[in-house]
Amino acid sequence: MPKKYIIIGSTLAFIIIILLVSIFYFKISFTSLPTNLPIVLADELTSDGERRHINSITIMKSDSSHMNSDEPVLPESEEEIVLNQSNDITRMLIEDVRIYNGGRITNDSQEYTVEMSLSDDTHLYLYITNEYIRIVPPDQNGKLYKVLDKENAVYVYFHSFFEEK
């Protein structure tokens, strides 16, 4: 086999290895496109073709030690804010936050645990920081979404409740 083919083959193998390492390190997905938080929440709130309604939203400060855990972890913090009014709940549901299922996530901001009490007596948990949103539906695996916007509008909205105190 000529030396030329060995060099070309080795170079191609090296490039392929570098691409594969990059894809796994940066968690690049070619099948997942960016979406919006309201679309993902609408999908999570629809069960068997029937839409579940949110009765209340409880917001608590938490830490990100459970970022990869599917078990809902309630924070030890005593301070919590409950949203019962439909205007507050609707505002949270329609905030246009662009998210992506994948990507490399770093966390350097306060995390909030959001417990949504649903009309069928189940709970949907969201863990929100400025960099990511983790959605943990009842009896299912959680999904971690990277926030693509520079400022997560839902995070800023929840953060404003705790800043006022």
E strand or H helix that includes residue 134: strand 132-136
d(CA 130, CA 155): 6
Chain segment 30-57, per-residue pLDDT in tens: 666 788 888 888 888 887 888 888 888 8
Chain segment 113-132, per-residue pLDDT in tens: 888 998 888 888 888 888 88
Higher pLDDT, 129 or 164: 129
Whether residues 18 and 82 fall in one domain: no
3-state class of 83 per DSSP? strand
Whether residues 116 and 53 fall in one domain: yes
CA distances from 90 to 2, 41, 47 (A): 68, 12, 19
Half-sphere exposure of 113 (CA within 13 A, CB side): 23
Whether residues 39 and 120 fall in one domain: yes
Contact between 151 and 131 under an 8 Å Cβ cutoff? The reply is no
Whether residues 91 and 55 fall in one domain: yes
Contact between 81 and 92 under an 8 Å Cβ cutoff? The reply is no
Chain segment 72-119, per-residue pLDDT in tens: 566 566 678 888 877 777 877 777 888 888 767 777 778 888 889 988
Domain count, the chain: 2
- pTM for the structure as a whole: 0.73
Whether residues 56 and 107 fall in one domain: yes
Whether residues 16 and 92 fall in one domain: no
Range of the domain at 18: 1-30
